[in-house]
Structure 1
Amino acid sequence: MADVKTDSISSTEFGKLFFEFKPRFIALAYRYVRDRETAEDLVSDSFMTFWEMHETLPADINVPAYILTSVKNRCLNHLNAQIRHRRAEQDMHSTLTRRLQADVRSLSACDPDLLFSEEIRAILKQAVRKMPKMTRSVFLLSRIRNMTYSEIAAELGISVSHVNFEIRRALNLMRSELKDYLPAVLITLILSSQW
């Protein structure tokens, strides 16, 4: 087949050439691209390109060598494209990793007390203003002045159990106001600290 002139090759001769060399060329391409379907596509494309251009090629060209060179070049192009693709993926992965690490550092440094403290304080103050007068007085004496239940009872002239009732009432009102912001455990902690 090597002595076939490219400008006079018939479709029958081309078919014989195709069936004779295709399996060898696929095996060679497969060694490089490691994917059977890709190897077959590269070889078929090389044969098709030859057929489309055969009338414009020099008459004395070695046809199998020409097609094999085309297969080799297509394998190289495919491998280079894979390298570029992998590098792009690695760059993207590195960028994503750096962003995730920055997010982790940011979240680690994030102090929820600082982020929400002003908003929570405003909600707490509003909730205190909504409380009935006795509940508000008991709550403020307990949380602001740090008085014991006995001291509050003595100051307001009520029983310790009434102080206990008013504190529970105040805490329930606070929990209700803050339910969308913090879990109940944190609400209890906030309410038990000075604000």
Structure 2
Amino acid sequence: MIQEIITKDKFEKLFREEYPRLCAYANTFLKDIEASEDVVHDVLFKLWENRESVNIDTSIEAYLFRAIRNKCLNVIRHLQVKEDYKSHNQSVLEEEAIQSADVMEASELNQKIHQAINSLPDKRKEVFMMSRFEGLKYAEIAEKLSISIKTVENQMSSALKYLKTELSAFISILIFILL
């Protein structure tokens, strides 16, 4: 039982004699001198603080080494939880940054597409819009605009060629976004 070392003198002697060994033992787990010293201080302080109620079935040295080992394992678990949390937060931040960049690129691409469409000649733009945004077939467009199907085909071909040229710098971004 700990009652043998209740006195301040005996506890101080134990502290002086065991402190270096306990720190070295803690350091085998933590690989950090300062953290090891903190663990030893905590264990010894708790022992002194609870000296009246602590029951020790083995030797005081065995008790201290076991307490040091348990405290070190708790510190290691706590550090792992912190590291996992940090990694998780980093992943979330990176994903949000990527999504934000994707949204900005998509917005910029959308703006460029609209600018390119708006710069088409009026009839060509009208044919293109009816085909791509209203989903009309060439024959339906020709009938609505009272033009030949061949004219619709030519206007669409010219519109697509122009848009391809105007948007060529953004094709890789478009492919990336679509994939």
Shift of 1:59: 6.3
Taking only the aligned residue pairs, the percentage that are identical comes to 25
Instruction: Supply the distance in 2 between the matched residues of 1:59 and 1:27 (Cα, whole angstroms).
Output: 23
Could you say if the C-alpha distance between residues 69 and 85 of structure 1 is closer, same or farther in structure 2, counting changes exceeding 3 Å?
same
Instruction: Supply the distance in 1 between the matched residues of 2:66 and 2:56 (Cα, whole angstroms).
Output: 17
Shift of 1:43: 0.2
Question: Max radius of gyration: which structure?
Answer: 1
Instruction: Supply the distance in 2 between the matched residues of 1:113 and 1:90 (Cα, whole angstroms).
Output: 34
Look up the match of 1:11.
Answer: 8
Q: Residue by residue, what CA displacement relative to the aligned partner does 1:100-130 show, whole Å, maximum 9, x if unpaired?
A: 1111211221226739x79xx9xxxxxxxxx
Shift of 1:41: 0.9
Q: Does 1:106 align with 2:103?
A: yes
Shift of 1:29: 0.9
In the TM superposition, structure 1's runs of 4+ consecutive aligned residues that sit over 4 Å from their partners are none
Look up the match of 2:54.
Answer: 57
Segment drifting more, 54-63 vs 76-85: 54-63
Of 56, 72, 83, the residue aligned with 2:69 is 72
Structure 2: stretches of 5+ with no match in the other structure: 123-179
Shift of 1:60: 5.0
Could you say if the C-alpha distance between residues 35 and 55 of structure 1 is closer, same or farther in structure 2, counting changes exceeding 3 Å?
same
Shift of 1:22: 0.7
Q: Indicate the RMSD between aligned Cα atoms, in angstroms.
A: 2.7
Instruction: Supply the distance in 2 between the matched residues of 1:84 and 1:60 (Cα, whole angstroms).
Output: 33
Segment drifting more, 51-60 vs 20-29: 51-60
Q: TM-score, normalised by structure 2?
A: 0.57
The AA in structure 2 aligned to 1:57 is V
Instruction: Supply the distance in 2 between the matched residues of 1:7 and 1:73 (Cα, whole angstroms).
Output: 23
Of 26, 34, 54, the residue aligned with 1:37 is 34
Structure 1: stretches of 5+ with no match in the other structure: 122-143, 145-195
The 8 Å contact of residues 8 and 55 in structure 1, kept in 2 or not, is answered as: no
Number of residue-to-residue matches in the alignment: 117
Could you say if the C-alpha distance between residues 60 and 107 of structure 1 is closer, same or farther in structure 2, counting changes exceeding 3 Å?
closer
Instruction: Supply the distance in 2 between the matched residues of 1:75 and 1:30 (Cα, whole angstroms).
Output: 9
